[in-house]
Structures are given as structure tokens and as C-alpha cells.
């Protein structure tokens, strides 16, 4: 056991389900933070806050490990000096709650872009701000020093339908010296909107964090609520949740493949992957009444059952894809120009992927084989014989291959689930009780975590961690010293979302 894990496990266990939360003193939290720099330290998954304390979530050999520390004088000891992956979380906590990370690596604002009427809107020391006059201050970026450097700003407004993100590029000629990302432009106030609402009503906010992972976020949130309240969903709901999740995974992978191939100049392959993506949308709409299956998952089970012709629609879309996918992959294999265009671009080193707890295709393309469906695992996946494809290249080509390798796996799972779909009800009633729960789900982009604290049947506090909290900084690292012209292709291969991070 690592030193950091031992410190956490020695803390007093609070009743967070299904994995306990360990309360640490300020000194023990500092000792834990110092131990996070060790090679065997647990992998940070997220840091969040509520009015009185700060929480941190780790994975230790695949097992979730939670720690918390009480706020003292508006501060808590920072994790970022020893664990750089904590930096964005600490900036978010300061903006939303007013808690300062003592000794943190970066104290710049993150979500608060200078237009809020209230400082720390979720914290215990909310303060009204004077009216702002004129435009907000421009975002503050890191300084770059050197000769013949040029800075280029991209976004947050894009010339196409895209989520807002401000990318600041520092280049020396055509070489990208630094890429720095600034998000927060899609901030929705999700955590504040969830507070004080019944868990079923709050599920709508969880489902709208990210359209590309609405099922995964809904599922992780439902898992958290069910753990907090001791609720077990019916078998039919469990199976249909997996049907939704795998249908979303295939659709998202096809969407990402089409985007990558568009940037690589492969128009025919882009069109065919896009066609099958649309077929998956249509099948989802027929099966569950919504093309994205939004609001289909609810705490306690499902909000909607499978339509009478839903299984047939899904099977037809799967058969059409399975019939053409091998030929599309062969075309990709035979194209030397495509292989050359994608090979070596945006290479993500395994140690960086491990240091930032990368998951999904970003992590698997750099040799990380974790999958939350299996470890820590949740029904019905442990019984389905899931295989997780990985690659070692860490580049654009490897990320595309991981996605294409997951499509046949999800197709097989969908067929098995539909063949053995249980009968019965689709939802269990939720008690008006109290509890604290942590939930997980595996999205097409990686692991999604949700945490809730429920008091008297209402959400008292919540947090949602999209995988791209940890993947955006890895895009910055992967493009360092790369070519400017390769940025769109590399970004497409990461397939990142702003909305899931902006809360």
C-alpha cells in the first residue's frame, strides 16, 4: 500500500456509500498531499467542495478512495504542488465556494470570468460584488518568454457549431511552444441548480452536463443517489441502462472517428462513419423517444421503457454497421497517406497519462487499460465478458484505433443484452431519506463520477466530474513542440467537451 493510501485509510470513516469517505485532520491531509508525488501514489480523480469541507477522490489499484478535510479560516492545504492534476479543481473550488488552496500552484480564476454579481456563490461567505462597468477583464494567460514568439488566440467563439473554449497558442514559426486552454464559457450553475431539489428532479441537470455523455452522466448520478439512499433498481432497468450506455458509446465513437477523418482529409470514410452515427441516433430515438436518450436514466431505474419496436430498430442499425465496418477499417489500413498523416501526431507519453489519471480512449491509447464498467465495476457488466482494447502509441492513430476497437465490443454487448432482456418494472421508488453516495459510470470519453449528499429527501450538495477535467491538460501537453497545423487533428482525436467541465 502506498504512503498516501495508508494515510487516507487511517482516517475516520464517514458513511459515504458504497465506498467510505475518510475524514483527515489538516496535518494528515498535508501529509497525504506530500505523499502524492510518489510513483506508487493513488491516481487523483477529482477534488470538490461544500460549505464546510473539501473532498478528494482517488483510485488505488482500481478501488475508489475518498478523503476530506475541514475548512479552517477559509483555506485548506493545496494538493497541486505535489499533484498537478489538482490545479483546475482548486481554481474551481475558489471561484464557486471561496475556499483558497493554501500553497496552490495556480491562483487565477477559472469559472468566474469577471461577470458574476456574487463572489463564491455556493460558499458560506457569499459577498455581493459592485456592478461591473463595461466588458469583463480578458482572461489571464501564462507568460511565454523567448525570441520570435507569436501568440494566437482561438475562441471562445468558433466559426462553426462548437462548444466555447479559449485556446491561447504560443508559436515559434510553425512550432507550437505552448497551448493553454481556458474554459468556463459554458458554465450553467449546475451544482447550485441541483441543491434543494428532489433527486429525481435534479437528474435533469446531471443529464445536461454533456450531450455526448448524457446517459453516462445520468447513470453515474443515479448510482450515487441509489447508493446514498440504499435503493436497488429493478433488473430490467439495469439491463436497459446498459443498452442505452452502449448505444451512446457506439454513436460517440463513430462521431469522433468521423471528426478525426475529416481533419485527416478522408472524405469518404468521414461520410460513411457519419452515416452510421446518424443511424444510431435514429435507432435511439425510436427505442427510447429521444435521439440522445436524454432523461432516460433516473434514480431508482428508468424514466422510460424500451418502445415496442425499439429492439428491432437497434438491431437493424447494428447489423448495417457490422456489415460495413470491416471494409471501412480495411480502407483505413490500406491508405498509406492516412497512416502517415496520423502517426506520431499528438503523442501522449504513458507517464503523463498515468499522472493525470487518463481514462477512456485517451488513456487506453497510451497503454492504460482501466474501465469503470469492470473496476470498480457495476451491473450488469462484470457478467458480460467485456474486453478493453488498448494501444501503446499514444498518438492520433492509436486513439482512433481504440475507438474503432470498442465498437465491435459494444455491438456484442448490445446483442447479448437485447437477447436476454428481463421482464418486469423499470423503477423503484426513492425514500425521503438522507445519505451520502458516490457513483461511477464509464462514458465513451472515460470515467464519470458523481457525488451527492441528500438531507431529508433533497439534494444538499453535489458534484459531477467529467473525464475531460483531466484530459484537457493532457491535450496541452500532447501539443507541446508540435506543429500548428496538427492542432485540429490532435484535438479531434482527444474528442474533448467543454460543457462537462464548465459545470
DSSP assignment of 432-456: S--EEEEEEEEETTEEEEEEEEEET
Say if strands 16-17 and 150-154 run parallel, antiparallel, or are unpaired.
Answer: unpaired
CA 464 to mean position of chain CA atoms: 9
Q: Do 399 and 365 meet the contact criterion of CB atoms below 8 Å apart?
A: yes
Coil vs helix vs strand at 474: helix
Could you tell me if 410 and 249 are in contact, meaning their C-beta atoms sit under 8 angstroms apart?
A: yes
User: d(Cα 296, Cα 121) in Å, to the nearest integer?
Assistant: 30
Q: How far is CA 303 from the centre of its chain?
A: 23
Cα separation values, 411 from 229, 348, 408, Å:
33, 28, 5
| Cα 198 to Cα 202, 293, 341, 435, 459, distances in angstroms | 6, 21, 50, 13, 6
Taking each helix axis from N to C end, the angle separating 468-478 and 87-97, rounded to the nearest 10 degrees, works out to 130
pLDDT, residue 287, reads 98
Is residue 64 within 8 A of residue 20, CB to CB? The reply is no
Output the furthest CA–CA distance in the chain (Å, rounded): 69
| Pairing of β 435-443 and β 16-17 | parallel
d(CA 220, CA 228): 12
User: What pLDDT score does 342 carry?
Assistant: 95
- Domain boundaries for CATH 3.30.460.80 within the chain: 3-125
User: What is the C-alpha to C-alpha distance for residues 39 and 475, in angstroms, rounded to an integer?
Assistant: 22
Give the model's pLDDT for residue 153. Answer: 82
Helix-helix angle 396-419:235-264, to 10 degrees: 150
β-strand pairing of 301-302 with 297-298 = antiparallel
- Per-residue tens of pLDDT for the chain, all 503 residues: 899 999 999 999 999 999 999 999 999 999 999 999 999 999 999 999 999 999 999 999 889 999 999 999 999 999 999 999 999 999 999 999 999 999 999 999 999 988 888 889 998 877 666 666 555 566 677 667 677 788 888 888 877 778 899 999 999 889 999 999 999 999 999 999 999 999 999 999 999 999 999 999 999 999 999 999 999 999 999 999 999 999 999 999 999 999 999 999 999 999 999 999 999 999 999 999 999 999 999 999 999 999 999 999 999 999 999 999 999 999 999 999 898 999 999 999 999 999 999 999 999 999 998 999 999 999 999 999 899 999 999 999 999 999 999 999 999 999 999 999 999 999 999 999 999 999 999 999 999 999 999 999 999 999 999 999 999 999 999 999 999 999 999 999 999 999 999 99
Neighbour count for residue 327 (Cβ, 10 Å): 10
pLDDT of 132 reads 60
Q: Quote the pLDDT of residue 127.
A: 65
Tell me if 245 sits within 8 A of 215, measured CB to CB.
Answer: yes
Topology given in CATH for the domain delimited by 192-493+498-502: Cytochrome-c3 Hydrogenase; chain B (1.10.645)
How far is the CA of 155 from the CAs of 45, 115, 152, in angstroms?
Answer: 28, 18, 10
pTM to 2 decimals? Answer: 0.96
DSSP line for 53-117: EEEEEEEETTEEEEEEEE-BTTEEE-STTT-GGGHHHHHHHHHHH--EEET-S--S-SS--S--S
- The sheet carrying 458-465 orders its strands as 16-17, 435-443, 446-455, 458-465
In order of 76, 77, 179, 420, the CA distances from 90 in angstroms are 10, 10, 20, 45
Tell the residue number behind the cell numbers 465513437, with chain if given.
253
Q: Which CATH architecture has domain 3-125?
A: 2-Layer Sandwich (3.30)
pLDDT the model gives residue 130: 65
CATH 1.10.645.10 location in the chain? 192-493+498-502
Query: Smallest Cα–Cα separation from 301: which of 389, 405, 426?
Result: 426
Helix axes 214-229, 199-207, angle to 10 degrees: 150
Give the HSE-up count for residue 349: Cα atoms under 13 Å, Cβ half-sphere.
7
- In this prediction, residue 125 carries a pLDDT of 77
In the structure grid, which three cell numbers stand for residue 64, read together? 475508489
**Owner of C-alpha cell 458480460:** 384
Sign of the CA dihedral running 287, 289, 292, 297: negative
Amino acid at each position: 500500500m502506498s504512503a498516501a493510501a495508508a494515510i487516507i485509510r487511517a482516517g475516520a470513516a464517514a458513511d459515504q456509500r458504497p465506498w467510505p469517505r475518510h475524514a483527515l485532520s489538516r496535518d494528515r491531509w498535508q501529509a497525504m498531499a506530500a505523499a502524492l508525488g510518489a510513483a506508487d501514489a493513488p491516481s487523483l480523480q477529482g477534488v470538490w467542495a461544500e460549505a464546510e469541507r473539501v473532498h478528494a477522490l482517488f483510485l488505488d489499484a482500481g478501488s475508489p478512495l475518498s478523503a476530506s478535510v475541514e475548512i479552517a479560516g477559509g483555506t485548506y492545504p493545496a494538493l497541486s504542488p505535489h499533484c498537478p492534476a489538482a490545479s483546475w479543481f482548486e481554481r474551481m473550488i475558489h471561484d464557486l465556494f471561496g475556499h483558497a488552496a493554501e500553497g496552490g500552484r495556480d491562483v487565477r480564476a477559472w469559472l468566474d470570468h469577471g461577470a458574476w454579481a456574487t463572489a463564491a456563490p455556493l460558499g458560506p461567505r457569499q459577498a455581493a460584488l459592485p456592478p461591473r462597468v463595461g466588458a469583463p477583464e480578458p482572461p489571464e494567460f501564462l507568460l511565454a518568454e523567448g525570441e520570435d514568439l507569436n501568440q494566437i488566440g482561438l475562441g471562445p467563439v468558433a466559426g462553426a457549431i462548437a462548444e466555447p473554449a479559449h485556446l491561447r497558442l504560443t508559436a515559434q514559426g510553425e512550432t507550437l511552444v505552448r497551448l493553454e486552454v481556458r474554459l468556463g464559457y459554458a458554465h450553467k450553475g449546475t451544482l447550485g441548480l441541483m441543491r434543494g431539489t428532489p433527486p429525481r428532479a435534479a437528474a435533469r441537470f446531471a443529464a445536461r452536463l454533456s450531450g455526448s455523455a448524457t446517459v453516462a452522466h445520468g447513470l453515474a448520478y443515479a448510482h450515487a443517489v441509489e447508493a446514498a439512499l440504499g435503493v436497488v433498481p429493478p433488473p430490467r432497468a439495469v439491463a436497459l441502462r446498459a443498452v442505452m450506455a452502449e448505444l451512446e458509446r457506439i454513436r460517440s465513437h463513430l462521431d469522433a472517428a468521423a471528426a478525426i477523418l475529416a481533419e485527416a482529409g478522408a472524405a469518404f470514410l468521414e461520410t460513411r462513419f457519419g452515416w452510421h452515427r446518424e443511424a444510431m441516433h435514429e435507432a435511439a430515438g425510436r427505442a427510447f423517444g429521444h435521439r440522445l436518450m436524454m432523461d432516460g436514466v433516473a434514480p431508482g431505474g428508468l424514466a422510460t421503457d424500451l418502445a415496442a419496436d425499439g429492439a428491432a430498430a437497434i438491431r437493424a442499425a447494428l447489423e448495417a454497421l457490422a456489415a460495413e465496418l470491416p471494409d471501412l477499417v480495411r480502407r483505413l489500413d490500406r491508405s498509406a497517406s492516412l497512416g502517415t498523416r496520423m502517426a506520431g501526431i499528438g503523442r501522449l507519453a504513458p507517464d503523463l497519462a498515468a499522472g493525470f489519471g487518463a481514462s477512456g480512449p485517451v488513456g487506453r491509447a497510451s497503454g492504460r487499460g482501466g474501465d469503470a464498467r469492470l473496476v470498480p465495476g457495476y451491473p450488469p457488466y462484470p457478467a458480460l465478458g467485456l474486453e478493453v482494447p488498448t494501444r501503446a502509441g499514444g498518438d492520433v492513430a492509436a486513439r482512433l484505433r481504440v475507438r474503432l476497437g470498442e465498437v465491435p465490443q459494444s455491438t456484442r454487448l448490445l446483442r447479448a443484452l437485447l437477447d436476454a432482456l428481463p421482464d418486469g418494472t423499470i423503477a423503484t421508488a426513492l425514500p425521503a431519506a438522507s445519505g451520502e453516495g458516490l457513483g461511477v459510470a464509464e462514458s465513451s470519453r472515460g470515467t464519470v463520477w458523481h457525488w451527492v449528499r441528500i438531507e431529508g429527501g433533497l439534494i444538499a450538495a453535489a458534484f459531477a466530474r467529467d473525464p475531460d477535467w483531466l484530459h484537457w491538460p493532457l491535450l496541452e501537453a500532447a501539443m507541446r513542440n508540435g506543429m500548428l497545423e496538427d492542432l485540429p487533428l490532435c484535438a479531434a482525436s482527444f474528442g474533448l467537451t467543454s460543457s462537462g467541465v464548465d459545470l
